[in-house]
Amino acid sequence: MDLIERISRQFQDNTRTTHDALEMLAAPIAGAVEVMTSSLLDNGKILVCGGSGSSGDARRFAAQLVNGFELERPSLAAFALSADASTLAPIAGDPSPAALFSRQILALGQPGDVLLTLSTRGDSSRIVDAIQAAQERDMRIIALTGIEGGTVAELLGPEDIHLCAPADRTARIQELHLLILHCLCDGIDCLLLGVED
């Protein structure tokens, strides 16, 4: 096995996938930046959640909005929906694990807020329930998925934004999701601070 060749193929695959994504996703990412910035300027908040492997990216994105990305600015209202012990502990009965995020959205979400979801396959039951709860709360939804978007793509309304990575490998999808999240952070900072370059 030639490890150098294998590593080179990973880089080449990443580059091809990223190039394909640029043409497809630049305009929808810009639209997502505008939706989130508008919500924040109108005293709304961004609620973020990710399916299993994407939960860390969801927390990181929320932290970058609260603590800053690359520029100094005031904190922004963002909250990563959690799967910690306190939210997992049933208060009455035995709530479905799929309702983990949706219960938090029903408690915290308001009209005008934005829900940002991350799911590589688009079929996570927790993400599906979260989107349905956000729709109940009249929130805008920005969904990051891969492949064809799965059930998530079917649930989105005309005002929602679907950022579907043009890849079917989990690694490529997650790499693109991270780049998209960085573009969102940068774009929000740009609009809020009036950065031109």
Digit-coded pLDDT (tens) for 78-135: 999 975 545 555 544 555 667 889 999 999 999 999 999 999 999 999 999 999 999 9
Tell me how far apart the alpha carbons of residues 177 and 120 are, in angstroms, rounded to a whole number.
Answer: 9
In 156-194, where does DSSP find H-type helix? Answer: 170-193
Tell me how far apart the alpha carbons of residues 131 and 156 are, in angstroms, rounded to a whole number.
Answer: 8
Burial class for 19, CB neighbours closer than 10 Å (0-12, 13-18, 19+): exposed
pLDDT of the chain, 197 residues: tens digit per residue: 799 999 999 999 999 999 999 999 999 999 999 999 999 999 999 999 998 788 889 999 999 999 999 988 999 999 999 755 455 555 445 556 678 899 999 999 999 999 999 999 999 999 999 999 999 999 999 999 998 999 999 999 999 999 999 999 999 999 999 999 999 999 999 999 887 76
Domain-wise residue ranges, the chain: 37-84+96-192
**Cβ partners under 8 Å of residue 29, min gap 6:** 163, 180, 183, 184, 187
Question: What superfamily does domain 37-84+96-192 belong to in CATH?
Answer: Glucose-6-phosphate isomerase like protein; domain 1 (3.40.50.10490)
Tell me how far apart the alpha carbons of residues 19 and 17 are, in angstroms, rounded to a whole number.
Answer: 5
